[in-house]
């Protein structure tokens, strides 16, 4: 049985199918909190690890500075 993240992504793309009159881009990142440190799970294997910082943006959103983001175009 798929976990929460895969099910949420499927649901998100199903919802977006009904919104064809909008141009929507989806970006994501994946981090792990391990021994009180954030690890970037999408960082390329040959890249040096970056110190990640959790910050609040001027608009009040929580962001992680320095994290690797990828654009999602489909489920598969």
Q: Give the pLDDT of residue 32.
A: 93
Find the mean pLDDT for residues 44-60: 92
pLDDT tens readout for residues 7-48: 998 999 999 888 888 888 889 999 999 898 899 999 999 999
* Chain centroid to CA 48: 20
Q: Give the pLDDT of residue 71.
A: 93
Q: Give the pLDDT of residue 21.
A: 86
Is the pTM here over 0.85, yes or no? no
Q: Give the pLDDT of residue 69.
A: 94
Output b/e per residue, 27-38; b: 16+ Cβ within 10 A.
eeeebeeeeeeb
């Amino acid at each position: 049985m798929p976990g929460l993240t895969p099910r949420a992504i499927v649901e998100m793309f199903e919802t977006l199918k009904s919104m064809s009159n909008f141009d929507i881009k989806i970006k994501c990142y994946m981090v792990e909190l391990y021994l009180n440190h954030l690890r970037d799970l999408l960082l390329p294997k040959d890249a040096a690890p970056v110190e990640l910082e959790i910050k609040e943006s001027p608009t009040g959103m929580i962001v992680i500075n320095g994290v690797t983001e990828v654009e999602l175009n489909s489920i598969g």
